[in-house]
Structure 1
Amino acid sequence: MTISRWWKSWVGGLGAVGLLGACQTVPVYGNPVTSAPVQPPRHYFSVDWWTPLVEPTLLEYAPREQARPAYDEQNERVIALTRDGYVRSLGAGGQEAWSYRVGTLFYAGATVDGGTVYVPGTDGGLHALDARTGQLKWRYSAEEALATAPVIAGELVLVASQSDTLFAVKRATGELAWLYRRDAPAGFTIHRTSAPTVRGQTAWVGFSDGSLVSLDLADGGVRWEKLLAQAGTRQFMDVDTSPVLDASGRVYAASYTGGLYALDAETGDVVWTSVAQGITSLMLHGDVVIATGDDRLDAYLADNGKLIWSRALEERAGLETVLVKGMLLVPAQRSLLFVDPRTGRSRIAWNPGKGISAPPRVVGSKAYVLSNNGYLYALRLDGRSG
């Protein structure tokens, strides 16, 4: 069932704020009774359509959808991976074009490239599907839970596992080209994984032992490695942020307990560091590094690491923050937060039901949002206000 943007809105925005926003300092829009969202002010966004993908199960507690939607530009479809183990291709209005059952949970979303959908499964399977029909082209078995969206690097598909292994698979055949593995630390680690970042013939990726590693794409050989965790630290050293590169040749990454680092991408030399802990994702906005933590947002000058602003979040953040139309979209435990990147001020919060864990997929002026209760929403974004 797909609901168009012109449904009769549930009247009760103030009721939603009272029930869902008792601890909020910003307006909250949503429907705590059903999955139908309240239409927020149109100068922020409007809902084009929404559709349920997952049937709720009896006594299911705190469902989570962790896979970011992908977009198939060639066929103009959204690719959604959901907790019921299905891959779905959805066209205009949310109509299903095809579905493919993997039968496992997903920790990360798919990647679409060259008419193929690459799907990482927690059963260790990397599936290559025909983007138009959903037919299986090949499947590589990593025998480790795959935990990042595949990254296309020339003729290779790169995907990292939850067991600190980066796999490079030949995209034409599904055969293994090479792999790079590090031993997991003895202490506790964070349940997240760094996705590789690629430029030219180099990949940068973080590991749970606190290391950031630069690899040669030709054979997986190490160009350099740098320990970002503090000396003597044995717990939560993880570098789970996906590295971020800028035009000046710097790479930014963070250890959960070791802080935020700016390094020379070619040599691994440290340019600057910040002692901020608990960072789980990074993004670059002009000359500013935006760092998302479990319960806060921070902004740093990319040139020297000076803290510009810091804002506590009144709910636990999801995976990654994205920027669109002059607003930061922050998936969070109870809602999708709209944050001004200039000040860190939250403008509104939108609750589609059960909160949001997966980052939205932005395509032009649209954002596709998968809520934790398994509903897919197409939002039309109207830009920053006031």
Structure 2
Amino acid sequence: MSPARNRFGRRPLLLGGVALVAVIAAVAAALAFNRSGDVSNAEVEFQPEPTPAAVATPEEAPRRRVKRDDFTWAHYGYSRDRRHHFPAPDIRPPFRRVWDFRSNLLMEFSPVMGQGRLYLLRNNASLYTLSSRTGKVLWKRKLGRLAASAPAYADGRVYVTVLERGKGKGGRVVALRARDGKELWTQPLASRSESSPLVYGGLVHFGSENGTVYAMRARDGRVKWRYKASGAVKGALALDSGKLYFGAYGGKVHAIRQSDGRPVWTSTTRGLRLGTGSGNFYSTPAVAYGRVYIGNTDGKVYSFSSASGKLAWTRSTGGYVYAGPAVATVPGGEPTVYIGSYSGSFFGLDARTGRVRWTHRAGGRISGAATVVGNVVYFANLGRKETVGLDARNGRKVFRFGYGSFNPVISDGKKVYLTGYTSLFALEPVSARGSRRSAGAASRRESSAARSGRSKRTERRRRRR
């Protein structure tokens, strides 16, 4: 090769090197990596929200029967964006046990609630309906062979996804009348499903193991649209601003339009060697502050822009993250993501940056999602079979209950309903019991005073006669 050809031949190589350096510099400017390989991208938009108004604790009027309870905990995670946050500050430890429902079968998911009833799906695909006041079984239905999801409640109906309708068979979706358990419609599925359904706009949404995401008409089960994801969709779908968000096996997070299933964006963790992993998304996402928060089996928690899918941050936990996050801003606190992992640690993370605010060493694997009720965040310790409550602001332990494995609690503003491994417990704040006693005593005093006043008036009338 002549010197001239060699000189001109090297120029593109040098220019290419300069371009590569520029690209690397641009990436480095956008993404900051720490020693654990985590990512923080300050350019991704974050939308702070005011602290949500507290849900008023229902008051029990003396000598007055409440014919119907209109409170609903309609979906897994309480709200359709799956934040797992119920702002009821009066519901806090210590608790007393009001009733319990015991069985010998696994209860992996907490119930949903509507019209004063709890709808609980057990691992053998049996749906139980209990009175929230007494724990009495009102009706039950066997819907298949296996189940691993929570039902959904809407407009007097209960919707259930079944993992297996029979041995070696795919799953199915069932709609039942909430009042008496009458089956209204059923649809068999080509594969299994453990995706807790979401009901909105007359449609029932859920994923399945073959990667198909469905939208079925709530009134008759007819399929309106399907979307094929990158892999199995095990977790539930979250809804916010007209878009459905979910993770899939294959390391991708999807955003699609709720109305017609058309894709909006897809983000991947595969092939991104700088600080990100290539695991599977089993976790159910939570959507808040313009972000999507979701855990991955690569041991990281991810935050994406809900508008664009751009990666905002990752946070390593030291173990598989099957759990879905709870996201909340409690009074006196900051926007925080609450999540546990198989490392045996439970984290409070800065929702904007992913920075660790505090860590609680649980000493056992954490598989299920946490729930924030009032100012307390509850999670179940699968390793120790217990439920723990922490002050959501600082991680200080304020509650422990010797039952619990996966997804622990829901609340109706009067009681907490805690799911153990095979049992369901209704717990009432001790202060609430004292308040009712005080109200009852006050009512009795008022009644006594009224009777005394009536007696004195009657005696005066007699004397005038």
TM-score range relative to shorter protein: 0.7 to 0.9
8 Å CA contact retained: 1:228, 1:255 = no
CA distance in 2, matches of 1:381, 1:253: 32
Deviation at 1:241, TM superposition (A): 2.3
> Deviations 1:4-48 (Å, cap 9, x if unpaired)?
xxxxxxxxxxxxxxxxxxxxxxxxxxxxxxxxxxxxxx9521111
CA distance in 2, matches of 1:382, 1:152: 35
8 Å CA contact retained: 1:327, 1:340 = yes
Per the alignment, residue 17 of structure 1 pairs with: none
Which residue identity lines up with residue 164 of structure 1 in the other structure?
G
Matched, 1:239 2:281: yes
Per the alignment, residue 291 of structure 1 pairs with: 339
**Which stretch of structure 1 is more off in the superposition, 200-209 or 160-169?**
160-169
Change (3 A) 1:161 1:234: farther
Deviation at 1:231, TM superposition (A): 3.3
> Deviations 1:216-270 (Å, cap 9, x if unpaired)?
1222111100013563699971122222222x42222232216223222111122
Match for residue 208 of structure 1 among 205, 225, 249: 249
Matches within 5 A, 1:145-224: 145-184=192-231, 193-224=234-265
Change (3 A) 1:205 1:382: farther
Which residue identity lines up with residue 168 of structure 1 in the other structure?
A
CA distance in 2, matches of 1:249, 1:235: 23
Which residue identity lines up with residue 197 of structure 1 in the other structure?
A
How many residue pairs get matched?
A: 322
Match for residue 119 of structure 2 among 79, 88, 97: 79
Task: State, as a whole percentage, how many aligned pairs show the same letter.
Answer: 21
Change (3 A) 1:283 1:230: farther
Per the alignment, residue 378 of structure 1 pairs with: 426
8 Å CA contact retained: 2:409, 2:417 = yes
CA distance in 1, matches of 2:416, 2:218: 28
Match for residue 98 of structure 1 among 102, 119, 139: 139
Deviation at 1:274, TM superposition (A): 2.6
8 Å CA contact retained: 1:80, 1:89 = yes
8 Å CA contact retained: 1:261, 1:272 = yes
Q: 3-state DSSP class of the match of 2:325?
A: strand
Q: 3-state DSSP class of the match of 2:236?
A: coil
Which residue identity lines up with residue 222 of structure 2 in the other structure?
E
CA distance in 1, matches of 2:195, 2:418: 18
8 Å CA contact retained: 1:229, 1:257 = no
Matches within 5 A, 1:264-283: 264-276=305-317, 278-279=320-321, 280-283=323-326
8 Å CA contact retained: 1:228, 1:259 = no
Deviation at 1:301, TM superposition (A): 1.3
> Deviations 1:151-209 (Å, cap 9, x if unpaired)?
11211101122333321111111011122223449xxxxxx922111123210110011
Matches within 5 A, 1:347-362: 347-352=398-403, 355-362=404-411
Match for residue 391 of structure 2 among 340, 347, 351: 340
Deviation at 1:319, TM superposition (A): 1.1
Q: 3-state DSSP class of the match of 2:193?
A: coil
Which residue identity lines up with residue 160 of structure 2 in the other structure?
V
Matches within 5 A, 1:11-26: none
Per the alignment, residue 98 of structure 2 pairs with: 48
CA distance in 1, matches of 2:392, 2:354: 16
CA distance in 2, matches of 1:366, 1:236: 41
Match for residue 139 of structure 1 among 186, 204, 224: 186
Q: 3-state DSSP class of the match of 2:97?
A: strand
Matches within 5 A, 1:92-131: 92-123=133-164, 124-131=171-178
CA distance in 1, matches of 2:406, 2:313: 31
CA distance in 2, matches of 1:228, 1:325: 34
8 Å CA contact retained: 1:194, 1:242 = yes
CA distance in 1, matches of 2:93, 2:254: 43
Which residue identity lines up with residue 195 of structure 1 in the other structure?
A
8 Å CA contact retained: 1:212, 1:225 = yes
Say which structure is richer in helix: 2
Q: 3-state DSSP class of the match of 1:94?
A: coil
Matched, 1:316 2:338: no
> Deviations 1:125-164 (Å, cap 9, x if unpaired)?
1110000010000011113221121111211101122333
**Which stretch of structure 1 is more off in the superposition, 108-117 or 172-181?**
172-181
Change (3 A) 1:348 1:217: closer
CA distance in 2, matches of 1:302, 1:323: 15
Change (3 A) 1:268 1:235: closer
Q: 3-state DSSP class of the match of 1:88?
A: strand
Root mean square deviation of aligned Cα? 2.4
Q: Highest CA radius of gyration, 1 or 2?
A: 2
Say which structure is richer in strand: 1
Per the alignment, residue 21 of structure 1 pairs with: none
Which residue identity lines up with residue 380 of structure 1 in the other structure?
E
> Deviations 1:307-361 (Å, cap 9, x if unpaired)?
1112221122241111113211112221111222222233342114xx4323322
CA distance in 2, matches of 1:85, 1:255: 27
CA distance in 2, matches of 1:377, 1:270: 40
CA distance in 1, matches of 2:276, 2:152: 34
TM-score (norm 1): 0.77
8 Å CA contact retained: 2:270, 2:277 = no
Matched, 1:368 2:428: no
Q: Could you list the runs of 5+ residues in structure 1 that have no partner in the other structure? A: 1-41, 57-62, 186-191
Q: Could you list the runs of 5+ residues in structure 2 that have no partner in the other structure? A: 1-91, 165-170, 330-334, 432-465
CA distance in 1, matches of 2:317, 2:270: 12
